[in-house]
Structure 1
Amino acid sequence: MLQTTALYHLSQDPTMARIIAETPAPKLFNDYADDLYLALLESIVSQQISVKAADAIFGRFRALFPDKYPEAKALLLKTTDELRSAGLSFQKIKYLQSVAVFSLEKSLRRADVDTMTDEEIVQYMIPIKGVGRWTVEMLLMFVLDRPDILPIDDLVIRQRMIRAYPEQTEGLTGKALYTELLNIAEPWRPYRTTASRYLWRWQANVTGL
């Protein structure tokens, strides 16, 4: 029902209506629905490498722990050499350790995080080393199922929006472009997550757009 309502709302924008009509429905999946801590670890491992490489490294990393679960205290007890054996860089090791420390000192439990607004969650998590706004926005969309996230810093989202709305974005760069993209997406509220999912799947060479 929620998805139907979101699509109806987004379709009030003629351009978005055409994108939705010509794009296969995005698959809705959530591997870490109740484990924000593990999702953060996986997100850091995945940074700047291919999906295949990330899956292999994360698998080896998890295999270092009982039941393949990197409990925070156990993670902090691992030596650099042990963690390096999984294929992790020195930098990513520091980032993973930062997540572990954060989870021990504060909270990454869904029950606590779910009480926060989207922006409160962003500000809560970005002090973690290796975690920026984009990373938190991905967690908001794909782990916490927040319905109104627009990851404007995502290159693909920006490129697809520029392609779909050429008249509004032609000749714009920098802050002016960001401002216009946000203006374009404003009518999509409160379903910008669904719009973003469709933009990711949309083939930007579709004629007529």
Structure 2
Amino acid sequence: MTPQTIQTRFVDIAQGLSGELAVAIANSPPLQLIPRQDSPFPERLCRAVAGQQLSVKAAASIWARVVESAAEQPLVDYLATVSPDTLRSCGLSGAKAKAMGAIAMATRANQLNESLLCELDHDDRTRCLTEIWGVGQWTADMMGIFYFGDPDIWPDGDTTARKNLERLTSRRRKTVRTAARFAPYRSYLALYMWHQADTPTV
């Protein structure tokens, strides 16, 4: 489906749930899911870990310091050997520094073969990723949406997406149930909820 067709379908579904949700989606531009594969998967995974529970601006600033500290070394090689104290000096928590080291070691062990991960569905890929220390459901969801471009992921662990859907529907109804109405394009529903956070239309 095209983004415009998905938006039209969403408005029809939303009208049966909440007038506010229907208006919010209708007043947004048609949103498009574009996978971001401009850097290797392990680097994107590390960046997602760095951005957990941070604003986009803060996450970008910390990540820039991590990249700068690596200098000309390949980033994954650097993260496999760097001192956690050095990463903490970039603004990372101890847990995030440890997670990046675990991702780097998993990469060296060929546990993050991008071609193989791409062939998996989201549930199987999530199981592979969450075996790595410090990689949880939220991170797996973000990689599924923004790296692999999976159109049908509802990231219920994302506070912004969940709270906006609650606000536009009902706090008494579980957002997983609400999002299920928008399958098989739940990732697009998340895009619309994030858009509401950045540019409210209701």
Q: TM-score range by the shorter chain?
A: 0.7 to 0.9
Residues 121 and 33 (structure 1 numbering): CA distance in 2 closer, same or farther, change over 3 Å? farther
The AA in structure 2 aligned to 1:152 is: D
Alpha-carbon displacement from aligned partner over 1:124-148 (angstroms, at most 9, x marks no partner): 1112222111111011111111000
Give 1:50-199 correspondences, 5 Å limit: 50-67=55-72, 69-71=74-76, 73-166=77-170, 169=171, 172=172, 177-178=173-174, 181-199=175-193
Q: Give 3-state SS (helix, strand or coil) of 1:114's partner.
A: helix
Deviations 1:74-97 (A, max 9, x none): 322223343344333332221110
- Give the residue type in structure 1 aligned to 2:107: S
Letter in 2 for 1:50: S
Could you tell me how far apart the structure 1 residues matched to 2:62 and 2:95 are?
14
Q: Residue 151 of structure 2 contacts residue 187 of structure 2 at CA under 8 Å; is this kept in 1?
A: yes
How much identity, in percent, do the aligned residues show?
26
Q: How far apart are 1:204 and its partner, in Å? A: 6.4
* Distance of aligned partners of 1:12 and 1:68 in 2 relative to their CA distance in 1, 3 Å threshold: farther
- Asked if the contact 1:125/1:136 (under 8 Å) is kept, the reply is yes
Larger Rg, first or second structure (1 or 2): 1
Give the root-mean-square deviation of aligned CA atoms.
Answer: 2.5
Q: Which amino acid aligns with 2:176?
A: L
Q: Tell me how far apart the structure 1 counterparts of residues 187 and 41 of structure 2 sit (CA, whole Å).
A: 18
Q: Distance in 2 between matches of 1:90 and 1:186?
A: 36
CA offset digits 1:53-111 (Å, max 9, x no partner): 3222211211233546412x332222334334433333222111011111122332331
Evaluate the alpha carbon distance shift between residue 24 and residue 128 of structure 1 in structure 2; reply closer, same or farther with a 3 A threshold. same
Q: Matched residue of 1:11: which SS?
A: helix
Q: What secondary structure does 1:140 align onto?
A: helix
Aligned residues: 195
Alignment-derived partner of residue 12 in structure 1: 12
Deviations 1:156-201 (A, max 9, x none): 22222222223xx5xx3xxxx43xx333222211111111111222
Q: Give ranges in structure 1 of 5+ residues lacking alignment.
A: none
TM-score by length of 2: 0.82
Q: Taking structure 1 as the reference length, what is the TM-score of the superposition? A: 0.79
Distance 1:163 1:199 in 2: 10
**Alpha-carbon deviation of 1:50?**
3.3
Contact 1:26 1:198 in 2 (8 A): yes
Q: Structure 2 stretches of 5 or more lacking a match? A: none
Amino acid at match of 1:43: A
Question: Which residue in the other structure is 1:44 paired with?
Answer: 49
The amino acid across from 2:78 in the alignment is A
Higher mean C-alpha deviation, range 85-94 or range 136-145: 85-94
